Chain A
Amino acid sequence: MKARNLMIPLQEYLKPDTTLKEAANILRTAKRDEEKLGVKGLPVLDASGKMVGFLSMGDILKAVFPSYMSLMNLGDFTWDGMVEDMAKKARDKKVSEMMTTKVISVNEDAYLMECVDHMIKNNVKRLPVIGKDGRVTGILYERDVFFAITKAMLDENTGGGK
């Protein structure tokens, strides 16, 4: 099994100068598969279609989390509405300010274990899959890897080297 067999082909992406407000809306309404809506992260592509970053839900959480709060234990001293206020302040930030620029990705032909290796070591749940021309062709989700694993566990005939 290779990354290309399990990935969900890329349908939507973000641009670096998109605002977080627009980005959040795209994440919310992007198609996950045939039926479901909403994705937890999307690649950020520049005008030439090259991937320059990845924006996930975690990055949106970080956008509202003030840096000084990471310095001390101030969680007990916050108030109702604080996140909402911060969200309003953060909504005009650009995707490029909050996106992860060191994106962990895999080639289409990467074997599943390489994908698992990246997911475990880098603690990521989504891997952009890069095609032969260097462009993102799809996203490999932890969930789909999990399904592949459960399938292998349940069906003994599914060996490697497909």
Chain B
Amino acid sequence: MTHEATAAAQPFVMDTAFWTATTIFLLAYAVIVSEKIHKTIIAIFGAGLMLVLKILEQHEAFHVEEFGVDWNVIFLLISMMVIINLMRPTGVFEYIAIKSAKWGKGDPFRILAIFAIVTAILSAFLDNVTTVLLIVPVTILIAEALEVDPLPYLISCALASNIGGTATLIGDPPNIMIASKAQLDFMDFIYHLSPVIIITMVFYVFAIKLIWGKKLKTKEELKKRIMAMNENEAIKDSVMLKKSLAVLAMVLTGFVFHGMLHYQPATVALFGAGLLLLLSKTHEPHHILADVEWPTIFFFMGLFIIIGGVVKVGLIKWMSVQVLELTQGNLLATSMVVMWFSAFASAFIDNIPYVATMNPLIVDMAKQLWPDLSGIQLLHHADLMPLWWSLALGACLGGNGTAIGASANVIVVGMSEKAGKRISFGKFMLYGMPMMIMTVVIATIYVWLRYYVLKI
């Protein structure tokens, strides 16, 4: 509650600090979009500027959730990466991916569709970044085997992971933050978000059929390369596999019951990572830890601080308030504006700090609408609930809009570049933006129909 209070009490003036922070923010984003300098370097440098120019105090950047690094997200990401790094040598992910490709019987489009569905399901339970890290290498290999363009597989992997990640509390960081702010638990997300994501995935598979279905052609003899692959050869360490699956099951169970047990998701993940490290009996945690995607982690940390700066000077709040004023207290209109504004905002800025800004704003608005209520009664007010879901849907699905809209996209673009298949900002947007609009339209209809017409 103290966070909302500080946000509300924050005086808003367009002073030197406002313009300095806004300039750093815009320049940082311009350079990230231009791809002239590595994004992580810009994020770290921009964060450094925010601190050196005293837009943010170091204490705020490091220790205040509202303005600085969200360690829950950082530790959740690092811990899940450690768990996955320990699981990876067992071969379980290669097994799943090769099995999926064989289900597709070597047909390039069927494989694309199956990979999209597998990616969506995996990223609903694992972090999106982790999921694409596990799926992308196999998809490139499969594309090579079939001698087809890997681009559809790469882009579809990012898009499907963002759609799938929207389905659960743990699927995507914005959901984690919304859950904690609005005190929603795992089952709330399953009940309210999973249905619309399943519907969206059906439309998504039809959409990729339209876009890529005809272009993906291969020869019969190349299909044999896929069918000749034996997924059982993937399993390298069945003892460690059993330990990993047990810990993963425990972690997922922990996520399901985290609200009830009053644990943050990062606590669950960190404990799981520690336990699996212990069970692995490794004497050299060095390479497991070194394999954490540090550039991504530092990109997150730098961005948190840059956005913290513009949150502090009031830029993001100003922008959001403009949008909220448009709706004049009409909650259906507000839901729609929140969803669409969130989608476009998340397409260009990180949805994590964006959601961190929108969360207190929604709470503030609720306080104005129902001044007599507080706590759960306020946060879970029947008329407020659709706003939380609109925010989650907009912020998560919006990530598909551009190459920097979601961390999964950033990872996919990075991995593709390493593999010599560069995906430019424009190229990603060409597919991502229409797909984002399609999915948000579906979400709009869902929210309107379920919460304002059928009221269920």
- List the A side residues contacting B229 at CB < 8 Å: 76-77
* Smallest CB separation, B356 vs chain A (Å): 31
Q: Does A69 contact B (CB under 8 A)?
A: yes
| Complex alpha-carbon distance, A71 and B93, angstroms | 12
Query: Do the beta carbons of A82 and B144 come within 8 Å of each other?
Result: yes
A73/B89 in contact, CB under 8 A = yes
How many A-B contacts are there with CB distance less than 8 Å? 52
Select from chain B the residue with minimum beta-carbon distance to A78: B141
B259 part of interface (Cβ distance < 8 Å): no
Residues 226-253 of B contacting A (Cβ, < 8 Å): 228-230, 233-234, 236
**A77 and B98 contact, CB distance less than 8 A:** yes
Q: Tell me whether A74 is interfacial, beta carbon within 8 Å.
A: yes
What's the Cα separation between A67 and B233 when bound, in Å? 21
Within 8 A of B (CB), among A41-72: 66-69, 71-72
**Bound-complex Cα distance A94 to B331 (A):** 61
- Flag if B88 contacts A72 (CB, 8 Å): yes
Cβ–Cβ contact B225 & A74, under 8 A: no
Q: CA separation between A66 and B140, bound complex, in Å?
A: 9
Which of A71, A72, A76, A82 has the largest count of B CB atoms less than 10 A from its CB? A72
Return chain A residues, CB-CB under 8 Å to B213.
none
**B148 contacts chain A at the CB level, 8 A cutoff:** no
Among A66, A68, A76, which residue has the most Cβ atoms of chain B within 10 A?
A68
Q: For A74, list chain B residues within 8 Å (CB).
A: 94, 137-138, 141
CA A68 – CA B234 in complex, angstroms?
Answer: 16
Q: What is the distance, in angstroms, from B147's C-beta to the closest C-beta of chain A?
A: 9
- Roughly how many angstroms separate A50 CA and B149 CA in the complex, as a whole number? 41
By the criterion CB–CB under 8 Å, are A73 and B234 in contact?
A: yes
CA distance A72 to B84 in the complex (A): 12
Contact A79 B234 (CB under 8 A): no
Bound-complex Cα distance A76 to B141 (A): 11
- List the A side residues contacting B230 at CB < 8 Å: 76
**B438 CB contacts on chain A under 8 angstroms:** none
Q: Are B234 and A76 in contact (CB under 8 A)?
A: yes
Determine how close the nearest CB of chain A comes to the CB of B380; give it in whole angstroms.
43
Residue in chain B with minimal CB distance to A67? B418
Distance between Cα atoms of A71 and B89 in the complex (Å): 11
The interface residues of chain A lying within 8 Å CB-to-CB of B420 are 67
**Closest CB in chain B relative to A84 CB, distance in Å:** 13
Indicate which residue in B134, B144, B225 contacts A72 across the interface (CB closer than 8 Å). B134
**B419 interfacial contact with A, CB 8 Å:** yes
Task: State the CA gap A74–B229 with chains docked (Å).
Answer: 10
Contact of B93 among A68, A69, A72, A79 (CB under 8 A): A72
Known contacts A73-B89, A77-B141; decide if A68 and B94 are in contact (CB<8 Å): no
Assess whether A72 is in contact with B233, with CB atoms less than 8 Å apart: no
Q: Which residues of B lie under 8 Å from residue A69 when comparing CB positions?
A: 137, 141
> How far, in angstroms, from A82 to B144 measured CA to CA in the complex?
9
- By a CB distance below 8 angstroms, the chain B residues around A67 are 418-420
Q: Which residues of B contact A76 (CB under 8 A)?
A: 94, 229-230, 233-234
Nearest-Cβ distance from residue A70 to partner chain B, whole angstroms: 9
Q: Contacts A66-B419, A76-B233 known; list 14 others, CB within 8 Å.
A: A66-B140, A66-B141, A67-B419, A68-B136, A68-B140, A69-B137, A72-B134, A72-B138, A73-B94, A77-B138, A77-B229, A77-B234, A79-B228, A82-B144
Show 20 A/B contacts (Cβ-Cβ < 8 Å), sorted by A: A67-B418, A68-B136, A68-B137, A68-B140, A68-B415, A69-B141, A71-B137, A72-B93, A72-B94, A72-B134, A73-B236, A74-B141, A76-B230, A77-B94, A77-B138, A77-B141, A77-B229, A77-B233, A79-B228, A82-B144
